[in-house]
């Protein structure tokens, strides 16, 4: 249910971006080995750069792009195919979505947001993939990367620096969460409230354009947790 909320929200956000910006370049932070965010974006952005901190993750993405991956993402392509069809967009088969995604992704970059972001992006030397970008995606990743709140604010400023004036940042994640659990393992997850998140974005020189949130405390078995999806404009 949580994943469905995020995927559906991200789709409608990306779809609505066409009224906010008419660009072609998108950069995703913390892509992970998953392909659903970029598949949604590939309907509207023709030049996409994916990035992740973990080298093995980047290699897995490259393997999928070269049709050599052992991971099966067919259920996600099935879901996106149904989602696009239900909203009036042209209905694509899962195979067509895979082809569209591979065509749109121009580069996969190993990238550490806590280091100098602009310096790391200097290896991107062609106009279609180098900054500034029209849109940046950050889905359920920034809180796992940033050790504290000030590092989160600093990361927002770095992201601001790679966007064009008026460019958009899409952020989806959770508030009031202390850890990310996978099986019996627990991983760092920066805790903040929705109000603190919005303050961080303001300090990062972003203006709020859209926000949707819902309580997911029962699904996660913890109190006061909100899942949110948001769009900000670079000031």
pLDDT value at position 11? 62
| Contact indicator for 161, 118 with CB cutoff of 8 Å | yes
pLDDT, tens digit (0-9, with 9 covering 90-100), for 132-176 = 999 999 998 999 999 999 999 999 999 999 999 999 999 988 898
φ/ψ (deg, to 5) at 162:
-105, 0
Distance CA 225, CA 223 (A): 6
pTM of the full structure? 0.89
Domains and CATH numbers, the chain: 1-234 (3.40.50.150)
**Banded model confidence at residue 1, pLDDT cuts 50, 70, 90:** very low
């Amino acid at each position: 249910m949580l994943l469905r909320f995020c995927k559906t929200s991200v789709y409608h956000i990306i779809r609505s971006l066409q009224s906010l910006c008419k660009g072609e370049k998108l950069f995703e932070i913390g892509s992970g080995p998953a392909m659903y965010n970029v598949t949604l974006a590939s309907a509207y952005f023709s030049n996409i750069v994916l990035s992740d901190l973990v080298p093995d993750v980047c290699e897995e993405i490259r393997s999928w792009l070269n049709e050599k991956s052992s991971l099966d993402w067919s259920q996600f392509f099935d879901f996106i195919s149904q989602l696009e069809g239900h909203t009036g967009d042209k209905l694509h088969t899962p195979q067509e979505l895979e082809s569209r995604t591979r065509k749109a992704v121009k580069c996969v970059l190993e990238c550490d947001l806590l280091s100098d972001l602009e310096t790391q992006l200097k290896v991107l030397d062609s106009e279609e993939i180098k900054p500034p970008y029209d849109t940046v995606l950050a889905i359920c990743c920034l809180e796992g990367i940033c050790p504290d709140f000030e590092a989160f604010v600093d990361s927002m400023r770095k992201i601001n620096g790679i966007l064009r004036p008026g460019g958009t940042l899409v952020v989806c994640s959770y508030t009031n969460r202390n850890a990310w659990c996978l099986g019996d393992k627990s991983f760092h997850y920066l805790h903040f409230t929705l109000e603190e998140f919005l303050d961080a974005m303001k300090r990062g020189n972003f203006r709020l354009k859209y926000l949707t949130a819902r309580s997911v405390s029962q699904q996660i078995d913890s109190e006061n947790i909100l899942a949110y999806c948001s769009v900000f404009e670079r000031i």
